[in-house]
Structure 1
Amino acid sequence: MFKIMVVEDDVSLKNIIAKCLTKWGHDVHQIENLENIIEEFKNYNPELVYWT
């Protein structure tokens, strides 16, 4: 399916979103810390960023 990067500082919400997306067949990468987000984005190369 899609490579999705989930950016959320609320760990509980991030985990729920990631669990649902994974269940639906997507490859999910989770980010809590915004300090390295550009580097993470370049390394993971997502097709979609879900930022709440």
Structure 2
Amino acid sequence: MGAFEVDSTASVCDALLDHGVDIEHACGKVSACITCHVNISEGFEYLNVSD
């Protein structure tokens, strides 16, 4: 997959789904079930990460 830009308020799950990556998200995208686990191999410094 190539690089793409997203709104700074978008979650990683939403960004991937919006760009055609079909990932499981069983909890309704509330970060409760970890089925949407992804590995970020590049560009982590560009993510807006909160605890």
Could you state the TM-score of these two structures normalised by the residue count of structure 1?
Answer: 0.24
Which of 1 and 2 has greater Rg?
Answer: 2
Specify which structure has the higher proportion of helix: 1
Larger RCO, structures 1/2 (Cα 8 Å, 6+ apart): 1
> Could you state the TM-score of these two structures normalised by the residue count of structure 2?
0.24
Structure having the higher strand fraction is 1
